[in-house]
Structure 1
């Protein structure tokens, strides 16, 4: 559930000074394949429904989310330095990036997904926060490492870091080809253990959440929690682009609380 327990969502272990959760597909007004809490503007859903869903979501947040135009890249937005108008319903001014960071309390960071990994990163002292969108392309290209580096730059005195890897497609359903296998294994032989040979010939089943945990561990993140939720196998709770290409988007939201306990 969301931090106040009122909005249909999933989260992880409570973090001092930080609130975070991932929405489910429950609690909104969208219909058909987008039913019901779709927050994606470019999914084919009615604009009025998406705006209504975002309005419902906004009631549980301390501020307007910093929405991103996600492109499976490695760009990290420093939300505290951005002077753009991030008002809802204005996609033309939404910055293109696949991660964002903040040290401003109450600034809500947002990542949309429908099988890709939503990852929340924070300093354990509750002063610096980042969120990242990691599909296989972004993960292989280093989006998590880039986000952590940007956080290090902002909060150089941070003693340690933690991460939460939210709902994403699970290893039993993420079948990939030789290109995806090579993107990881060619640069890191240890990544082999996160791929299982599929029955259908030259294919592998990839464990994307575990690949992310592996990369975060190598980058020096001390505490990493996986949600354990597979978006593909839970059509009642989550959207999945692999399961249905016409579908909605979940959103993972995180912010630094107004008063840190540390």
Structure 2
């Protein structure tokens, strides 16, 4: 598993950006697939998630993720839920100890949030649509309602697809530029005429900065570029694979 130095230094908080290594899944899911929405064997996913829960010091039933829908919606977590009743949203926040909250990714940006002074944590799934529609700002606002402060929130961005591997079409570029002409800085020309390469991580960093967060760390890793370490939806699509594994990126408070 990977960690952000800025969050690892905070007392009473454990976190991890889990890689694809260290689990029991096989084939395209090899090996630490945490995606309950994948077609992997459910018993393999359950074992993988139990290993992740152990790494964060919580019971497996207190290791919580969402039914993600690429939205700006945030859930405040007060108690565990059953695996078959996951809320439909793309971020979670809590101040309850011994609960691990996480998001699954396979190219999109995983963001972990922590305010050790207020003892409030959060996790957000920031694909282009979620980042564009405000998932970052919504997560911060939800943390503030629990007592956190933008001045003391640390945010870390884990493995995400990077610009050299993220080609998009002209309608995609037009959507971003129409919203803000300054968004042109997140695009460079692609080899295919009319297409562009999108800097998702740069866009996420910009939204975090504009939200007033000073303590931001980007691990600088690309899911597409390192097949031995990371799952990638886009890479799996390009290779005509039948499915793909999902990483879990999670954080927990401890007494």
Please report the TM-score for the alignment, with normalisation by the length of structure 1.
0.88
Specify whether residues 12 and 182 from structure 1 end up closer, same or farther in structure 2 by C-alpha distance, changes over 3 A only.
same
Alignment partner, residue 69 of structure 1: 67
Distance 1:126 1:171 in 2: 35
CA 1:57–1:156: 2 relative to 1, 3 Å: closer
Q: CA deviation at 1:191?
A: 1.9
Deviating 4+ runs (over 6 angstroms):
none
1:250 corresponds, among 243, 247, 251, to 247
Q: 1 or 2, which has the higher helix percentage?
A: 2
Q: Specify whether residues 29 and 189 from structure 1 end up closer, same or farther in structure 2 by C-alpha distance, changes over 3 A only.
A: same
- Judged with a 3 Å threshold, the aligned counterparts in structure 2 of structure 1 residues 121 and 157 are, in CA distance, closer, same or farther, namely closer
CA shift in 2, pair 1:122/1:183, >3 Å: farther
1:166 paired with 2:158, answer yes
- The CA deviation string for residues 179-232 of structure 1, in whole angstroms up to 9 with x for no partner, is 322332222222211111111011111111110000110010011111111000
Paired with 1:126 and 1:34, the residues of 2 have a C-alpha distance of 38
Per the alignment, residue 98 of structure 1 pairs with 90
The gaps in structure 2 that reach 5 residues or longer are 238-242
**Would the aligned equivalents of 1:124 and 1:159 in 2 still touch at CA under 8 Å?**
no
In structure 2, relative to structure 1, the CA distance for the partners of 1:40 and 1:110 (3 Å cut) is same
Normalised to the residue count of structure 2, the TM-score between the two structures is 0.90
User: Residue 157 of structure 1: CA displacement?
Assistant: 5.5
Taking a change above 3 Å as real, the CA distance of residues 159 and 169 of structure 1, as seen in their structure-2 partners, is closer
- Residue 15, structure 1, aligned to residue 9, structure 2: yes
CA distance in 2, matches of 1:46, 1:199: 39
Return the alpha-carbon distance in structure 2 between the equivalents of residues 56 and 122 of structure 1: 23
CA RMSD of aligned residues (A): 1.6
Q: Is the 8 A contact 1:101 1:128 kept in 2?
A: yes
**1:51 maps to 2:49:** no
Whole-Å Cα distance in 1 between the matches of residues 234 and 150 of structure 2?
Answer: 38
> 2:138 aligned with 1:141, yes or no?
no
Q: What is residue 184 of structure 1 aligned with on the other side?
A: 176
